[in-house]
Amino acid sequence: MTLIVNGEPREIAAATLSDALVALDYADAIVATALNGDFVPARSRAATPIKDGDRIEIVAPRQGG
Amino acid sequence: MRLYDVALDSRLLLGTSQYPSPAILAEAVRASGAGIVTVSLRREAARLREGQDFWRLIRELGVRVLPNTAGCHSVKEAVTTAHMAREIFATHWIKLEVIGEADTLQPDVFGLVEAARALCAEGFEVFPYMTEDLVVAEKLVEAGCKVLMPWGAPIGSGRGLNNVFGLRALRAHFPEIPLIVDAGIGLPSHAAAAMELGYDAVLLNTAVAKAGDPVVMAKAMAQAIEAGRAAYMAGPMEPRDMAAPSTPVLGRANLT
């Protein structure tokens, strides 16, 4: 299925947000996630199903003012 | 100084953006003596992993982090970013920015108050980036903010304190609330001026990061903030319009 990951279309096979992170090679990264604009806590990723066309945001610490 | 029951030695809060290199950032933070640095959240590319390296660097500095919601233009974006920041940085602190105007990056104070109310109710400890408006300040305090951060001038402008009258009024109106000038500082003299007004601290970034030598400028800012605070505590003299001789007039020899 096609997901929009950080604004880019990606083809992956995954049933949950947690699976998607593994498939996208973020398994061991410190990241926070949002699905279709809503925050999904790390503890809820495995129980969060995803479907074709979902938008996933994956963010990490960065420089800030 | 205490911010949300955390005691801090330094009255300088330093941003971590726009430094020539990670090594210079680290050295500037150390030279500044800052106990708090601001950080953000941005999209992470799986291959580059820039965020992972940055976060390692910050953790090694042993300073407290104040995550921001920079770039958020709506209440929803800001609140969602705050939730993400709380999980990643394991802190209830959030520098709340809800931007209302793209050229001046001035806060949308209506959205700011709404977001602050939502976040305070959820247990966040909110540091609102605001204009120096007294009524907005009242609303933020009512919402639960225990720190206020009025701008000195637009972010990254280096113009100093654009409205000294307004900042002074805010200080007088909220004697018990920690007040931090956030944004617009370009020179150590600007930072000292904020402290001389009785402000509790200064948050700055570009003035250090974009200096020819950020490490030296970080130290200069720290010294200016310390001097400005000491001057405020010492009780400055009242200015006057006409000269007043400092040398005694009495006892002056008649040499005509």
- Chain A positions in Cβ-Cβ contact with residue B87 (cut-off 8 Å): 32, 41-42
| A46 within 8 A of A16, measured Cβ to Cβ | yes
Nearest-5° Cα angle at B78, B75 to B84? 140
Q: Give residue B166's Cα distance to chain centre.
A: 16
pLDDT (tens digit, 9 = 90+) per residue, B34-79? 999 999 999 999 888 899 999 999 999 999 999 999 999 999 999 9
Closest residue in A to B50 (Cα–Cα): A62
Test A30 with B88 for CB contact under 8 angstroms.
yes
In three-state secondary structure terms, B215 is helix
Q: What is the mean pLDDT of chain A?
A: 96
Test B88 with A64 for CB contact under 8 angstroms.
no
What pTM value is reported for the model? 0.94
Helix B134-143 × helix B164-173 angle, to 10°: 40
Q: What is the mean pLDDT of chain B?
A: 97
- Chain A positions in Cβ-Cβ contact with residue B16 (cut-off 8 Å): 63-65
pLDDT (tens digit, 9 = 90+) per residue, A30-44? 999 999 999 999 999
Closest residue in A to B209 (Cα–Cα): A65
Distance from CA of B118 to the nearest CA of A (A): 15
Spatial CB neighbours of A2, under 8 Å, sequence gap ≥ 6: A9, A10, A11, A52, A53
Residue A7's alpha-carbon distances to A41, B76, B161, in angstroms, are 20, 18, 39
Q: Which of B95, B139, B146, B210 is catalytic?
A: B95
Test B55 with A64 for CB contact under 8 angstroms.
no
Residue B146 annotated to the active site:
no
* Cα B92 from Cα B126, distance rounded (Å): 8
Examine the pLDDT at B138 and tell me if it is beyond 90. yes
Owner of token pair 């279309």: A9
